[in-house]
Chain A
Amino acid sequence: MLILECPYCGIMADETELTPGGEAHLKRATVGSTDDAFESYLFDRKNPKGVHFERWRHSAGCGKWFHAARSTTTLEVYGTYAAQVSEPPKELVAKIKKKCPGWEGWQ
């Protein structure tokens, strides 16, 4: 059972309280973008075997979206952070780098 800390209400929320929202920090394609950019934004995913940044919603709690960094191979949760950012916090990236020396970085 996955347990994530909601960065807004501070609750350690059980996965049944949460709704997964897929890969985080996608660059939105918009008016004037190429077909390639739209295709990539809408469908192509990193789907990494390892560190994954993703969106979650505390749907049966405060209802807010937030971000989580998690391992898809061990299910370890590295941390959660607010939704209003376009990239993960530097401290979190540094913490993950320290834990996983072989990791190629979040981009």
Chain B
Amino acid sequence: MRRYSAFAIAREGLRYHTGWERAWASPEPKKRYDAIVVGAGGHGLATAYYLGKNHGIKNVAVIEKGWLGGGNTGRNTTIIRSNYLQDPSAAIYEKARSLYETMSQDLNMNVMFSPRGVIMLAQTHHEVRGYQRTAHANALQGVATEWIGPQRVKELVPIIRLDGPRYPVLGGLWQPRGGTARHDAVAWAYARACSAMGMDIIQNCAVTGIETEDGAVKAVNTTKGRIETAKLALVVAGHSSELAGMAGFRLPIESVALQALVSEPIKPAMDVVVMANTVHGYMSQSDKGEMVIGGGTDGFNNYTQRGSFHHVEETVRALVETFPMLSRLKMMRQWGGIVDMTGDRSPILSKTPVGGIYVNAGWGTGGFKSIPGSGWAMAELVAKDAPGPLAAAFGLDRFREGRFIDESVAAGVAH
């Protein structure tokens, strides 16, 4: 892998950019790998990367039905934060956030991480108490957040209206080190780093079946043939239930559509991320100037990547009250992604009833921000056949034992 640098740009500038090489190879699958990761989204690629980097397992294939980063990795609102209430969530999301800080250097690719700060608005008294509690919990967990009053919110977000009739702004939970990153670049950077380690990224290759023998995985059948492996990591978000079905078990997951939309580009108006969980809306301004707006999930099972329009209407209606200047903005695009919702709205990083099969799923509406932490923890689980400290609380056994990770902020929206 030829490194990206200022010198590389200068060098290529002098020879008409003829020397750039492909960022990753697209080989045909081998007969056998030490580990196979299904799903070349952010989580799958991060899993593969840390398998190689942290655990020395490099004979790895990442199999992808469509194209790399073409699922929810390219369909989110790119928000990164770690202001969670419960210890296990705070630990894994804070790990992810801290890895984002050095990701561009680590992967030698600019992922445009922008720690611009995230405010979660408190618009009811219930939320005020909830976020003050979260701020105290974060202080104990070592996550830097603080409770701020309405005037400080107004200083940070001049376009906000504090005294809306339905949803006044009563304060907010401020995480100055949260922010956004370029979502596609995260997938590309991990893919490039994996390819450089000798891993095979195989796109346009759907898994059609999973072979097991004596209760352990033996091989996967794909549209590009049969591939043997002793370790299989399923990292496919909305399609987790389907793949689990191929391996003969069920998951506590339902797939639903989550929507987002962007406005026409405007001049810089807001340089932080604002989330308003009461009204199921969140917003940031992209580098192109578009206001990127996230909405709520539908309540019914859906694989179509299309959500219901009334959610968009509800989100925009509420945001217009809090940000009156939005009322004149045209919305340019709207899209949906299929998110995997678990019973307690927290993710699953777990061994499964089948030996050698591991599942990383259930990130639901909060997948993008967790990519590096999820990959880090999943790689440890796959390499050691046992969860490390980050993944331990997120096992499938928590549903049987009633040991839920019950996040008040993870109410099916606003990640």
Taking Cβ atoms with an 8 Å cutoff, the residues of A that contact B are 1-2, 15-16, 19-20, 22-23, 35-36, 38-40, 42-49, 52, 54, 70, 72-75
Chain A residue numbers with a CB within 8 Å of B302 are 72, 75
Residues A1 and B310 in contact, CB atoms below 8 Å apart: yes
Query: Which of the residues B242, B253, B308, B310 comes within 8 Å of A49, measured between beta carbons?
Result: B242
Residues A45 and B253 in contact, CB atoms below 8 Å apart: yes
How far, in whole Å, are A19 and B310 apart by their CA atoms in the complex? 13
Chain A residue numbers with a CB within 8 Å of B290 are none
Residues A73 and B251 in contact, CB atoms below 8 Å apart: no
Residues B304 and A47 in contact, CB atoms below 8 Å apart: no
Chain A residue numbers with a CB within 8 Å of B83 are none
Q: Top 5 closest A-B pairs, CB basis?
A: A43-B252, A47-B241, A20-B299, A44-B250, A20-B300
Residues B250 and A2 in contact, CB atoms below 8 Å apart: no
Query: Which of the residues A2, A23, A47 comes within 8 Å of B308, measured between beta carbons?
Result: A2
Chain A residue numbers with a CB within 8 Å of B303 are 49, 72-73
Query: Which of the residues B241, B304, B342, B400 comes within 8 Å of A39, measured between beta carbons?
Result: B400
Q: How many residues of B contact A (CB 8 A)?
A: 24
Instruction: Tell me whether B399 is interfacial, beta carbon within 8 Å.
Output: yes
How far, in whole Å, are A19 and B300 apart by their CA atoms in the complex? 9
Chain B residue numbers with a CB within 8 Å of A75 are 302, 304, 306
Instruction: Tell me whether B208 is interfacial, beta carbon within 8 Å.
Output: no
- B333-353 CB contact bits vs A (8 Å, 1 = yes)? 000000000110000000000
Chain A residue numbers with a CB within 8 Å of B301 are 23, 47-48, 52, 54, 72
| Shortest distance between the CB of A53 and any CB in chain B (Å) | 10
Q: Contacts A15-B310, A72-B255: A49 and B399 contacting too (C-beta < 8 A)?
A: no
Q: Contacts A1-B308, A2-B308, A39-B399: A46 and B300 contacting too (C-beta < 8 A)?
A: no
Query: Which of the residues B250, B299, B306, B343 comes within 8 Å of A46, measured between beta carbons?
Result: B250
- B200-227 CB contact bits vs A (8 Å, 1 = yes)? 0000000000000000000000000000
How far, in whole Å, are A36 and B250 apart by their CA atoms in the complex? 12
Residues A47 and B254 in contact, CB atoms below 8 Å apart: yes
Instruction: Tell me whether B309 is interfacial, beta carbon within 8 Å.
Output: yes
Chain B residue numbers with a CB within 8 Å of A49 are 239, 241-242, 255, 303
| Shortest distance between the CB of A37 and any CB in chain B (Å) | 11
| Shortest distance between the CB of B156 and any CB in chain A (Å) | 35
| Shortest distance between the CB of B345 and any CB in chain A (Å) | 12
Residue with the greatest number of chain B CB neighbours at <10 A, chosen from A23, A47, A75:
A47
Chain A residue numbers with a CB within 8 Å of B299 are 19-20
| Shortest distance between the CB of B198 and any CB in chain A (Å) | 34
- B142-162 CB contact bits vs A (8 Å, 1 = yes)? 000000000000000000000
How far, in whole Å, are A30 and B150 apart by their CA atoms in the complex? 50
| Shortest distance between the CB of A55 and any CB in chain B (Å) | 10
Residues B304 and A45 in contact, CB atoms below 8 Å apart: no
How far, in whole Å, are A35 and B398 apart by their CA atoms in the complex? 12
Residues B400 and A2 in contact, CB atoms below 8 Å apart: no
How far, in whole Å, are A2 and B309 apart by their CA atoms in the complex? 10
Can you report 30 A-B residue pairs in the complex whose CB atoms are below 8 A from each other? A1-B308, A2-B300, A15-B308, A20-B300, A22-B254, A23-B254, A23-B301, A36-B400, A39-B400, A40-B250, A43-B252, A45-B250, A45-B252, A45-B253, A46-B241, A46-B250, A47-B242, A47-B251, A47-B254, A49-B239, A49-B241, A49-B255, A52-B301, A54-B301, A72-B301, A72-B302, A72-B304, A73-B304, A75-B302, A75-B304
How far, in whole Å, are A70 and B310 apart by their CA atoms in the complex? 20
Chain A residue numbers with a CB within 8 Å of B253 are 45, 47
Chain A residue numbers with a CB within 8 Å of B239 are 49
Q: Contacts A45-B241, A47-B254, A47-B255: A16 and B310 contacting too (C-beta < 8 A)?
A: yes
With CB as the reference atom, state the residue of chain B lying closest to A40: B250
How far, in whole Å, are A49 and B303 apart by their CA atoms in the complex? 7
13 additional contacts (CB under 8 A) given A1-B308, A2-B308, A73-B304 = A16-B310, A19-B299, A20-B298, A40-B250, A43-B342, A43-B399, A45-B253, A47-B253, A47-B255, A49-B242, A49-B303, A54-B301, A73-B303
Chain A residue numbers with a CB within 8 Å of B300 are 2, 20, 54, 70
| Shortest distance between the CB of A72 and any CB in chain B (Å) | 5
Chain A residue numbers with a CB within 8 Å of B241 are 45-49
How far, in whole Å, are A43 and B310 apart by their CA atoms in the complex? 28
| Shortest distance between the CB of A45 and any CB in chain B (Å) | 5
Chain A residue numbers with a CB within 8 Å of B255 are 47, 49, 72
| Shortest distance between the CB of B136 and any CB in chain A (Å) | 31
Residues A35 and B400 in contact, CB atoms below 8 Å apart: yes
